[in-house]
């Protein structure tokens, strides 16, 4: 009977395997799932069939794109992110007031460009960068300001 290759089962060995995994890109199936989710949200918002969840999905993808660009993966300008924030804020206001969750053609093009960058970032950035950006988004959603992390380091 063949013997299995002995792997060290120490905490240090497990930590080393995890650290190597964090250097790899996000698994292709997971990237495809995430990209499909945001593109569906963009499509329903374009067709005026969106909802708060679709708008939130686009908002989160926009923020993650900005965080990953800050980390050196892809390009997103401050002006691009600021304009996209205005577009999605308007969509939230309009959706809450009228029940119509949508993006106009200009907003659609703005988010299509952001999602194109997001797709490329997810395919190229290591898992550690995506995890850091996701953690940062979760802290922001919990109420921490974008710049609080920088103040903590100083």
**pLDDT above 70 (res 96):** yes
pLDDT at position 108 over 60: yes
Give the pLDDT of residue 25: 79
Contact 131, 22 (CB under 8 A): yes
Residue 109, domain member (yes or no):
yes
Q: Is residue 93 part of a domain?
A: yes
Tell me, yes or no, whether 31 lies in a domain: yes
Residues 6+ apart with CB under 8 A from 73: 121, 124, 125, 129
For 44-63, the pLDDT digits (tens) are 999 999 999 999 999 999 99
For residues 130 and 80, give the distance between their C-alpha atoms in angstroms, rounded to a whole number. Answer: 20
Number of domains in the chain: 1
CA 118 to chain centre: 7
Assess whether pLDDT exceeds 70 at residue 21.
no
Q: What is the pLDDT of residue 144?
A: 82
Residue-range definition of the domain harbouring residue 76: 26-153
* Measured distance between the N- and C-terminal CA atoms of the chain, rounded to whole angstroms: 58
Asked if residue 7 has pLDDT above 60, the reply is: no
**Virtual torsion, Cα 148, 127, 36, 104, nearest 10 deg:** 30
């Amino acid at each position: 009977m063949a013997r299995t290759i002995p792997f060290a089962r120490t905490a240090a060995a497990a930590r080393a395997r995890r650290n190597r995994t964090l250097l790899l890109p996000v698994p292709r199936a997971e990237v495809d799932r995430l990209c499909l989710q945001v593109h569906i949200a963009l499509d329903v918002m374009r067709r005026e069939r969106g909802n708060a969840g679709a708008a939130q999905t686009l908002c989160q993808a926009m923020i993650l794109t900005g965080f990953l660009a800050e980390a050196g993966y892809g390009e997103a300008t401050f002006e691009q992110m600021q304009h996209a924030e205005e577009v999605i804020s308007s969509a939230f206001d309009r959706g809450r007031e009228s029940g119509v969750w949508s993006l106009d053609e200009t907003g659609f093009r703005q988010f299509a460009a952001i999602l194109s960058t997001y797709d490329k970032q997810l395919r190229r950035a290591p898992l550690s960068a995506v995890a850091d950006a996701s953690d940062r988004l979760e802290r922001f959603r919990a109420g921490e300001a974008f710049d609080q992390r920088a103040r903590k380091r100083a």
